[in-house]
Structure 1
Amino acid sequence: MRSRLFPITDDHIHFDPVNGRGIDAAKDFLHAGGTHIFLVSKPSWSLGITPASGTDYAQVFDETLRIAGLIRETGLVVFPVLGIHPAEISRLTERMPLADAAGVMKGGLECAAGYVRDGRAVALKSGRPHYEVSSEVLAASNDVLFHALGLAAGYRCALQIHAESGPCADIVDMARVAGMTVERVVKHYGSPETPLHPSLVARHEAVPVLARERRPFTMESDFMDENSRPGAVTGPKSVPRITKKLLESGVINEEDCWRIHGETIEKVYGVRITL
């Protein structure tokens, strides 16, 4: 049942009524005790969209907002996060030169920033490939990421980063040059050693440790909601289930729950978490 004592927030999750379970999966999160989600836009290709310009990504963002509206009808609080998946650069360069691909991605981020400006989204998403690429592609990807950091700084919103495993410490200097507050740069699928804000997959072994140390972090499932990959990365119930397991075992208390799922979320994203 839904908790009435404290929030349970999934910091990075996808729901897809076309290619996945959609609202039924969202209801699983709700019935397991979840209260708030950050609904992250999916890559363009997963929605059958082939962008040729930055404005083409509006189709992705509008679909994300449509899904957010459906999920809100279940009683969940939904915060949309919009942006460009870093793997888009590999898809785009199959059809255009690298410089043009980077330009399209930057335009897509500017399009997403317009939704933040209008209050229809709360944060942006960017990053760089988490797989091996050429030095030229990596440089172009970092240029796109730097553009995203500048947009997030300008619109005073958080930025979720999808990147390689590890601390990604070099992004700290990039953020500072861009004028972006480092504490609002979220390392999606993060790890404790990152100097950015760590969003840990719920099953991460460091969750109890960071909770005891009262270190700022958030929890995510990174549920992809694709019928071809059921349960990837973890299921929609994982954040509420693991939070409640930690609470029942005495590893955390209700104050910790409010800090992880409420206060820290508010500081990073600039939103209000209420029940």
Structure 2
Amino acid sequence: MKLSGIPITDDHIHIDPVNGRGIEAAKDFRRSGGTHIFLVSKPSWSFGITPSSGEDYRGVFDATLRVADMVRETGLVVFPVLGVHPAEMSRLAERMSLDAAAGVMMAGLDLAARYVEEGEAVALKSGRPHYEVAPEVLSVSNAVLFHALELGAACGCAVQLHAESGPCADVVEMAGRAGIPVERVVKHFATPDTPLTPSLIARHEDIPALARAGRRFTMESDYMDENDRPGAVIGPKSVPRFTRRYLEGGLITEEDAWRIHADTPSRTYGVDIVLPSRNSAPF
């Protein structure tokens, strides 16, 4: 089955021309039927940046936007998502107090929000450590996460969360206090039990059942594009390939595919997802 009549969107992917395959990975996604990506900024250390202030994240964000422009030349539609990886807390806390580290991360998010306001990005990235940390680290990380939700509310944009495995149900209350609609809070690498908008790894075994039930969710590869971890988390071809597999096996319908790849991300992020010309950038 060809995917030429259906948009195929990867909701969380990294493309790294310095540490990974770069544009070749983006071409793999497109050749496999992919059309749209949400290009998520990588941690500061991926760029050799050691931040001491929010302004230091400008190098991370500008580099991400340059990659977005390069990827667009392949014919893909690219929606940048900018923010501060929650694991930055652990690294910053090696050089400063927890409160100071939180201040740097919040200032970095403030900067990311300005990129959203200027139309250079469509969403923010934040979260909290996905690994076990001391209670005081979790507390200050939640403060950073709440700040990101407040910025999302102020900007009218979605917020992608990188957090622990599981529902993250407490974020519903946080979103309510921050004033952001909970459906605009996306749980990256989600499990189906989350009350947030789930972005599910493309190989997730529950995708067919959730689609049949009419559940709103997106699909992602979380491809890291790092040469020392090739194919992690899953490769750039994965979202189109699994979508094709589900369709060919009768596990999802074309209507399901449109809801997953076009309708839900359009509603969540406030973007238009339409089919680009497949002849726009031959290679």
Q: Percent of pairs identical after alignment?
A: 70
1:37 alignment partner AA: I
Q: Is the contact between residue 223 and residue 233 of structure 2 (CA under 8 Å) also seen in structure 1?
A: yes
> 1:248 maps to which residue?
248
Moved over 3 A (4+): none
> 2:178 maps to which residue?
178
Q: Is the contact between residue 2 and residue 30 of structure 1 (CA under 8 Å) also seen in structure 2?
A: no
> 1:84 maps to which residue?
84
Question: How far does residue 4 in structure 1 lie from its aligned partner after superposition?
Answer: 2.6
Residues 146-165 of structure 1 mapped to structure 2, 5 A cutoff: 146-165=146-165
**CA distance 1:138–1:19, change in 2 (3 Å):** same
CA distance in 1, matches of 2:218, 2:46: 26
Question: How far does residue 257 in structure 1 lie from its aligned partner after superposition?
Answer: 1.2
2:199 alignment partner AA: S
Question: How far does residue 57 in structure 1 lie from its aligned partner after superposition?
Answer: 0.2
> 1:197 maps to which residue?
197
Query: What's the C-alpha RMSD, in Å, of the aligned pairs?
Result: 0.9
> 1:39 maps to which residue?
39
Residues 64-213 of structure 1 mapped to structure 2, 5 A cutoff: 64-213=64-213
Can you give the 5+ residue segments of structure 1 that lack an aligned partner in the other structure?
none
Question: How far does residue 86 in structure 1 lie from its aligned partner after superposition?
Answer: 0.2
1:74 alignment partner AA: T
Look up the SS of the partner of 1:199 in the other structure: strand
2:80 alignment partner AA: P
> 1:216 maps to which residue?
216
- How many aligned positions are there? 275
CA distance in 2, matches of 1:71, 1:2: 22
TM-score when scaled to structure 2?
0.96
Look up the SS of the partner of 2:194 in the other structure: coil
CA distance in 2, matches of 1:213, 1:3: 22
Look up the SS of the partner of 2:49 in the other structure: coil
1:133 alignment partner AA: V
> 2:279 maps to which residue?
none
CA distance in 1, matches of 2:2, 2:59: 33
**Cα displacement string for residues 242-266 of structure 1 (whole angstroms, at most 9, x for unaligned residues):** 0001111111122111111000111
CA distance in 2, matches of 1:2, 1:53: 48
CA distance in 2, matches of 1:229, 1:30: 21
CA distance in 1, matches of 2:145, 2:178: 10
TM-score when scaled to structure 1?
0.99
Q: Is the contact between residue 80 and residue 122 of structure 2 (CA under 8 Å) also seen in structure 1?
A: yes
Question: How far does residue 17 in structure 1 lie from its aligned partner after superposition?
Answer: 0.3
Q: Is the contact between residue 3 and residue 244 of structure 2 (CA under 8 Å) also seen in structure 1?
A: no
Residues 252-267 of structure 1 mapped to structure 2, 5 A cutoff: 252-267=252-267
CA distance in 1, matches of 2:262, 2:98: 41
CA distance in 1, matches of 2:230, 2:252: 30
Can you give the 5+ residue segments of structure 2 that lack an aligned partner in the other structure?
276-283
Q: Is the contact between residue 186 and residue 196 of structure 1 (CA under 8 Å) also seen in structure 2?
A: yes
> 1:3 maps to which residue?
3
1:96 alignment partner AA: M
Question: How far does residue 72 in structure 1 lie from its aligned partner after superposition?
Answer: 0.1
Q: Is the contact between residue 219 and residue 239 of structure 2 (CA under 8 Å) also seen in structure 1?
A: yes
Look up the SS of the partner of 2:193 in the other structure: coil
> 2:225 maps to which residue?
225
**Cα displacement string for residues 23-80 of structure 1 (whole angstroms, at most 9, x for unaligned residues):** 0000000000000000000000111101110011010000000000000000000000
